[in-house]
Each structure stands twice: as structure tokens, then as C-alpha cells.
Amino acid sequence: MLDLAMAMGVLSQLKPGCTCATTSLTVNMQSAGQEGRFIAVAGVDRVGRQIAFAHAKLYDAERSRLIASATSSLAVIRLRP
């Protein structure tokens, strides 16, 4: 869920004809998640020509408890026409 949130954040900032793929992912668990809904909040730190950097946090449905946090680097890929 954290990986997807970060990828979607980066994709929203790429030019048409580009996509991304995770090259590195670090996840830190803060507390146990109970069964139910979660909220992922992601941010993009930097988008370069070849690499993008992002971060995300995973909360319980009420956003009262942090479940996990993550950082990633993503390859920026230009699709062939």
C-alpha cells in the first residue's frame, strides 16, 4: 500500500509518455495494524530525469495511529511511442 501510494504520487508529476518503477523501498513499522481500513499519505521529495524520491505514511482509518512509514527511490522510464 505504501509502495503504490508513492508510485501514484510520482506518476502524477511525470510528463505524458513516462512511467516509473520502484528501485528501492524502505519500510519502518511503528505499530501493529488491526483488521480494517487504512489511509496512506504520500509525498514526492524530488523528481529528476532518471530517478524520483518519495515518502509515505500509513495510518489507521481514524488517522489516530501511525502504522508504518516508508521511503523509496523510483526509476523514471520514458515509454517508446
Place of cell 511525470: 14
Task: Render the burial of 31-65: b for 16+ CB within 10 Å, e for the rest.
Answer: eeeeeeeeebebebeebeeeebbbbbbbbbeeeee
What would the pLDDT profile of 35-45 be if each residue is shown by its tens digit? 999 999 999 99
Closest by CA position to 8, among listed 24, 17, 20: 20
Question: What pLDDT is attached to residue 33?
Answer: 87
Q: What is the pTM for the complete model shown? A: 0.93
| % of the chain residues with pLDDT over 70 | 100
d(CA 67, CA 58): 5
- What would the mean pLDDT of 14-40 be, rounded to a whole number? 95
Residues 6+ positions from 80 with CB-CB distance below 8 Å: none
Q: Indicate if the pLDDT at residue 81 is higher than 80.
A: no
